Amino acid sequence: MNILLTGGLGFIGSHTATVLAAEGHEVVIIDNLCNSQRQTLDSLESITGKELPFYEGDVRDAPLLKEILQKHHIECVIHFAGLKSVAESGTDPLKYFDNNVGGSIVLIEAMQATNVKKLIFSSSATVYGEPQYLPYDEDHPLAPMNVYGRTKLQVEEILQDLSKSDLDWSIVCLRYFNPIGAHESGLIGELPQGIPNNLMPYICQVVSGKLPHLNVFGDDYDTKDGTGERDYIHVMDLADGHAAALEFVDKHKGWEAVNLGTGIAYSVYDLVSAFEKSSNQTIPKVVKERRIGDLPIYYAKADKALVMLGWKAKRDLQSMCDSSWKYQEQLLKLAK
């Protein structure tokens, strides 16, 4: 299929591009590089052995989107492009609604105008909010606790309404849990700008000597070791999940939301231990106050993905840490 990846040079988009290209799909990328680098395109081309058409542009640019959709005979769009900092979404909500919701509306209108009606949307487990029960299944009430999560839920709702109004649409919203890890080549991975907000990229910077220690946000939760527990999922498993969703949207119409997680929760200390094993280094840590807005524990019920998409996560926590470490080592070599 001819597939447009919006935000395709970002963390999840770039890894998905490798899987789709390996499966023989024609991958076209649009990214405004607000949270990614052009060099990722070179890495993608060396991994895939293919030249991937790339547009440096914004999903809010309707004429550009229409031009790309038509020129490349796009059949399906995977919409990764979005801003993802929970903290920044609280301090600059309009930026988030404009980019994540406004950007999605412009994209959907461009797709409608060019008769491209297959869409996979990057949603998030954050749409569920405070757990009423665990694991979260797709029927769990939706009550995001931050602006970022509300932008994701709004787009999901817009897409659901759209699919009811026009039965030709085929839409899957993938609710990602906590993606970490990197491509097995070590050529691409997660490269946040500035000081990372999230656990794995923060650990990577501690191990690389850029930050002195890990701040552990709370060790007094009602969890197995007192630290927060999350459903970490290898980004290559997530990428495979997109390939499975692509097959699904090609054959079915309507709207679906599907969790992409492993169904297993690991603590901050589990991740630290696994990363220490991968890197053969000790990670200094300092216990701090709980981070505002953090939940103690959540994880996915991943049954729908297996039944509907035939997809299941295969890689374990050690392989997530090993691949992240391999990517870090590559970055350290390049910096020398």
Give min distance, CB of 53 to ligand NAD, in A. 15
- Minimal CB distance to ligand UFG: which residue? 228
DSSP of 220-239, one letter per residue? -SSSSSSS-EE-EEEHHHHH
Q: What residues numbered 120-179 form the site for ligand UFG, per CB under 6 A? A: 124-126, 148, 176-178
CA nearest neighbour of 12 among 65, 63, 79 = 79
Closest CA to 328 of 192, 168, 176, 219: 192
Taking the C-alpha atoms of residue 24 and residue 166, their distance in angstroms, rounded to an integer, is 30
Q: Choose the one of ligand NAD, ligand UFG, none that binds residue 86, judging by a C-beta under 5 to 8 angstroms depending on kind.
A: ligand UFG
Give the footprint of ligand UFG on residues 69-108 (CB under 6 A). Answer: 84, 86
- Min CB(8)–ligand NAD separation in Å: 7
10 binds, among ligand NAD, ligand UFG, none (CB under 5 to 8 A by kind): ligand NAD
**Burial class of residue 215 in the structure, from the number of CB atoms within 10 Å of its CB (0-12 exposed, 13-18 middle, 19+ buried):** middle
Catalytic residue among 128, 136, 148, 299: 148
The site partner of 25 among ligand NAD, ligand UFG, none (C-beta below 5 to 8 Å per kind) is none
Instruction: Give the shortest CB-281-to-ligand UFG separation in angstroms.
Output: 17
CA–CA distance from 275 to each of 157, 173, 186, 203, 278 (Å)? 38, 31, 16, 8, 5
* 133 counts as catalytic: no
Does 202 interact with ligand UFG (rule: CB under 6 A)?
yes
- Whole-angstrom Cα distance, residue 231 to residue 234? 10
Region from 47-55, 96-104, 210-218, 318-326 binding ligand UFG, contact rule CB under 6 A: 210-218
CA–CA distance, 269 with 217 (Å, rounded to integer):
11
Please give the distance of CA 190 from its chain centroid, rounded to a whole number: 10
Catalytic residue IDs: 148
What residues make contact with ligand UFG under the rule CB under 6 A? Answer: 84, 86, 124-126, 148, 176-178, 197-199, 202, 215-217, 228, 230, 268, 291, 294
